[in-house]
Structure 1
Amino acid sequence: MTIFASSQVGSCHATDILASLRYYWMGKRSCAEPRRSALRGDNGMVQYLAGHMKGYRKQAIGFAFFLAWNYFSFFSCGLVPVIRVVRSSERVWVWAGLLIAVASLVLMVASSRTRLAGKKSFGVVAALFASVGTVVIWTSFFYESTYQTVSAVGGMVAGVGFAMMALVWGDRMSRYNEAAIEFSAPASFILSFFLYFILLALKGPASMAVNALLPLLSMYFAFRAADLSTGGADVGVKVDRLIDGRELASALAGVATLSLLFAMLWFQFAYFRLLSTPDVVGDRFLHYLVPFSCSSVLSIIALLSCIKLSRQLNFTLMFRWGLPLLLLSYALLYYDYDDPVQRIVAYTVNFIGMFGVQFSFWIAAPKFVRRSNVPAYLLFGALFAAEGVGIFVGTWYGLAVIDGVTAANVMNESLLFFVAVLLVAMVVGFNPRWSFFRMSPRWSGRDDKAEGGAADSTSTADDISALFAQQAEELRATYGLSNRETEVAELLLAGRSRPYIRDELIISLNTVHAHARNIYAKCGVHSQQEFMDLLRPAGKREGTEG
């Protein structure tokens, strides 16, 4: 296939071949049709969010319901109606972690044979598991003699529900483009924190009833059919491809080191949560409200700063965020382990680290699926299995040793575990694939011919990418763009969002904004759509304006 484009100095005129290629690239839409973009003016990303919120808000709220249910069920004493049991939520969390690990592995294998995350019946079952688990946990506190058994059953049932709902939301989030992911995840987390505080303010059966309702609402919004093709969703991205056993094993090997480090990181959080939990019984304000509120606010501020200033948002952010805060938490405990205020501060710092890892995960994992073409169920299944193992082992060990803890053995054992994480990271290294490098080419051509002719589409996409590079060079010669501006211009012409450009070129979002403004100023345009129209034939532009 021969591709060429002619240009005229000052007008950057393109041939009709360019129009036909754009037709294919834009999902078989006419070039005269306005293209939705994540870049409109200097505040393009904010405008993008505002423009798509009407279509996206249902799933944003649904994801927030899932997060709020998780926090209230496993990170508060809101489900403790009668008997006050020290570290009650941690005792439920340990069994939830075990079933999260087991269920995630089972669901991952099953999803490679059938698309579970897309079935409404699967969502209904997931919500029922979570809701029933919530009710069982609440009722376990009425009878002290059966508390251990009933709470364990409730935690395991809720853990299965968590794994199933996490698979659904991993599938949904992976369908969004980079701009939608980076704005929707923080928005959902912020809303979930507000819901958590509302639930914590309730007492008695009301808090349990509302919390049990959240999974049902979450899955209801997740399966709103209209939302799968709106609100920034990219229905052309195949996140649920079916693969055979050999390819499943090969792909798991590709994320093995990431899963290992992820499990060790969650072991640290779970173990430290037991060590730093204040020895207070029945005081919701000191035990949960103060640490959770402070850590949630500080985490959101830090996350928004990372989104704006980081040169790339990938899996390494989880460790760059989590490990320093873990070390700070240990230092606070070592300073004075018997001081209750000191333990509350350390408890809060641990929550900040844990929230940061969760934020980073829900941004990096969907983007990794989109870049690497790995099925969403495989990546999320492997990582949630690793998280479940870390939670179970860390919480179980913490509960076993907590009674004999002193400042000395806290530092001896904790630093040993911390050094183990660093040692594994040093040995295996941060895999370049975590930076969204593409995996084996076989992933791009895996689908059967009945599902779309991947080889032809890949070849066409390569040709179009080369054409965009050629057009950017023409703009450079015509308007005097710099080398970096030319690279940014190539991606803008391809319709890429600013977060995508940031990850691709490894520059900060502020730098992307600055380059985009300079490019638009030199070319005499005010938006990405106008910039793309520079290379559109005059007749096409007039048709669009008409």
Structure 2
Amino acid sequence: MTDHPKGVWFAVPSAIRSCPGIRGEIAEGAGVHQYLIEHKERYRNQGLGFAFFLAWNYFSFFSCGLVPVIHVIRSSERVWMWTGLFFAVTSLVIMLISTRIPLAGKRGFGVIAAICSCGATIVIWMSFYDARTYQMVSVIGGMIAGVGLAMMAHVWGDRLSRNNESDIEFSVPTSFIFSFIIYFVLLALKGPVPMLVDAALPVASMLFAFRRPTCNLSEEPELSEGRCIRGGELIRMLAGIATLCLLLGLLWFQFAYFRLLATPEMVSDRFLHYLLPFSCSFLLSIIALLFCIKLSRYVNFTLMFRWGLPLLLLSYALLYYDYSDPLQKIVAYTVNFIGMFGVQFGFWLAAPKFVRRSHLPPSVLFGGMLAAEGVGIFIGTGYGLSIIDGISATNVMNESLLFFVILLLVAMMVGFNPCWSFFRASERWSVDGEMAVSKNLDEGSVSDDINALFEQQAEDLRRSFNLSKRETEIAALLLAGRSRPYIRDELTISLNTVHAHTRNIYTKCDVHSQREFMDLPHEKEKQQTEDDLVLP
């Protein structure tokens, strides 16, 4: 999922000696092959572990997979409501405790998360064996599940935030695909087997999350975690993401409320009412989102809203067309799931990147955003359950449009923060045009070090060819082999502006293509070496 051409990697060895930020083990010439071996194991651990977490979430709360005996209309939604409430409360508690103690990195925290999630799965499944106690037992199971879900989400938020951006773009889509395969197999099975496997998924997820690589993996980059965060500092951090959390909560309120409106009223045919809509929505979501990644090369928080809002509006339109038609409900149900998957997909891609760019503690970002999601689910599902019995097509459209307009008005008033698409804790380029050295360079990954190399090369070209500040930023990305659409999204400028600056850079440097421009620093280095040999 990376945008680097092969020439980038051939360019690294000849320039490593001149870049002081490159790690010693890589500079000594022995690290690249070992790095690939080590990170292949990390990809496997994180890809499978995160996939198990997602599959457990989908199978337990997004379908009737845990319904073995009695059929209760909208049973999954009832459990999901209480799961959302305790998901929100637990996320806030974890965030507050993590200001003193980094919980997500502790193995005991993962053990408790696995126990809660596994136990909740069994409790929810057993609640369906007695209609008289179903409601009370399923509520208890949903509450426990909310605690386990929040704990595991914080663990994976911490793990993914320690990857560089290319790793995130590879691991997250891979995990979503694996989770769908697991879900598809489980829902196709019958009897207690799927429940037992589902109960084991959280345990497997936490085992992979805390699994130690067999080889000597290099030190992970330090995040802004593990230090004490005072109350005033925490408030300032939360204020910076308040509008993001507000909009995310409103979005999940819409999804949860609409799920009640469109959920199938008959649960006897699991293939027609759950497996088919889920499969179609998942496949369409993955294909479309991977296409978005390929085109834009940068996925940010704004994608969640650009993706979710049109699909919500389409879902409402489908229900309004004929609310009594079961087939129409299934189609609307599928469209709603496409929206939910897209928002989840965008969240798990954007949030770890935001942590890396902003140096915000993972517990603060994930705590705030997960709490907003949980509150939205609880209120949306609770309100939907309270009115669903007397609702008609007219009511659906009137109330749905009202909620949708409220979301649009809030988005219009608070706006989309530019920091959601690109954020740096400090300016990359200082006022006088000199490159600002990243304070976390020594703690970064090999990918971060290579990016620093291209920035240093761009700075050298700035001095030699009198490039402007913006041209120097674009030159660094061109040297890294980035495409022009990627540069557009990375620097939040128009594509025409990228084209204009690129033409100016090529003219000043007397080159005609990106390939020639990427070779320019090495030609200058070679020329300098020859000149040094000629001198007496």
1:522 pairs with 2:484: no
SS at match of 2:19: helix
Show the counterpart of 2:421: 435
Which one of the candidate residues 318, 331, 340 is aligned to 2:304? Answer: 318
In structure 2, the partner of 1:31 is: 27
DSSP 3-state at the match of 1:142: coil
Match for residue 19 of structure 2 among 4, 10, 22: 22
Match runs of 1:439-458 below 5 Å: 439=425
Report the TM-score, using the length of structure 1 for normalisation: 0.80
- The CA deviation string for residues 155-205 of structure 1, in whole angstroms up to 9 with x for no partner, is 010110000000000001111111111121111000100000111012221
Residue in structure 1 matched with residue 476 of structure 2 by the alignment: 490
Q: Post-superposition shift, 1:491? A: 3.7
Aligned in 2, Cα 1:522/1:384: closer, same or farther, shift over 3 Å? Answer: same
- Structure 1 residues 21 and 171, CA gap change in structure 2 (3 angstroms): farther
Q: Within 5 Å, which residues of 2 pair with 1:113-132?
A: 113-132=100-119
Letter in 1 for 2:458: A
Runs of 5+ in structure 2 lacking a partner?
Answer: 1-10, 428-437, 444-448, 530-536
User: CA offset at residue 472 of structure 1?
Assistant: 3.6
Q: Distance in 2 between matches of 1:498 and 1:147?
A: 57
Deviations 1:97-152 (A, max 9, x none): 00000000000011111111111111011011000000000000011111000000
C-alpha spacing 1:130/1:466, structure 2 compared with 1 (3 Å): closer
Per the alignment, residue 259 of structure 2 pairs with 273
| Equivalent in the alignment of 2:221 | 236
Pair 1:155 & 2:149 matched: no
Match in the other structure for 2:458: 469
Q: Which amino acid aligns with 2:331?
A: V
CA distance in 2, matches of 1:199, 1:103: 28
Aligned to 1:218: 205
Correspondence for 1:401: 387
Assess, with a 3 A threshold, how the Cα gap between structure 1 residues 164 and 522 changes in structure 2: closer, same or farther. Answer: same
2:293 match: 307
Q: 2:69 aligns with which of 74, 78, 82?
A: 82
The change in CA–CA distance for 1:404 and 1:51 in structure 2 (over 3 A counts) is same
Find the aligned partners of 2:494 and 2:302 in 1 and give their Cα distance: 16
Of residues 75, 93, 97, the one that matches 1:110 is 97
Sequence identity percentage: 61
Structure 1 residue identity aligned to 2:19 = R
Does the 8 Å contact 1:173/1:181 carry over to 2?
yes
Q: Deviations over 1:191-224 (max 9, x none)?
A: 1000001110122211110000000000000112
Q: Distance in 2 between matches of 1:142 and 1:193?
A: 28
Give the direction of change, closer, same or farther, for the CA distance of 1:415–1:49 in structure 2 (3 Å limit). Answer: farther
Which amino acid is the alignment partner of residue 22 of structure 1?
Answer: C
1:248 and 2:226 are equivalent in the alignment: no
The question of 1:65 aligning with 2:47 is answered no
Give the superposition deviation at 1:245: 1.7
Q: Is the 8 A contact 2:478 2:518 kept in 1?
A: no
Structure-1 residue corresponding to 2:534: none
Q: CA RMSD in A?
A: 3.9
**Residues 154 and 367, structure 2, Cα contact 8 Å, conserved in 1:** yes
Rate the CA distance shift 1:464–1:89 in 2: closer, same or farther, 3 A. same
In the alignment, the residues of structure 2 paired with residue 118 and residue 535 of structure 1 have an alpha-carbon distance, to the nearest angstrom, of 46
- Residue-by-residue CA offset, 1:251-302 (whole Å, 9 max, x unaligned): 0011011100100000000000000112213210122011100000000011
Aligned to 1:338: 324
Q: CA deviation at 1:471?
A: 2.4
- For residue 186 of structure 1, the aligned residue among 173, 182, 192 is 173
Q: Match of 1:101?
A: 88
Q: Which moved more, 1:244-253 or 1:63-72?
A: 244-253
Matches of 2:524 and 2:114 in 1, distance apart?
Answer: 50
Gaps of 5+ in 1: 1-12, 38-47, 442-452, 526-530, 541-546
Conservation of the 8 A alpha-carbon contact between 1:311 and 1:508: no
Q: Distance in 2 between matches of 1:474 and 1:160?
A: 56
Change (3 A) 1:302 1:194: same
* Structure-2 change in CA distance of 1:165 and 1:521 (3 Å): same
State the TM-score, normalized to the length of structure 2.
Answer: 0.82
- AA of the residue aligned to 1:235: E
2:384 matches 1:388: no
Residue 255 and residue 518 in structure 1: after superposition, are their counterparts in 2 closer, same or farther (change >3 A)? farther
Are residues 250 and 156 of structure 1, via their aligned partners in 2, closer, same or farther at CA, if it must alter by over 3 Å?
same
Work out the number of aligned pairs and report it: 490
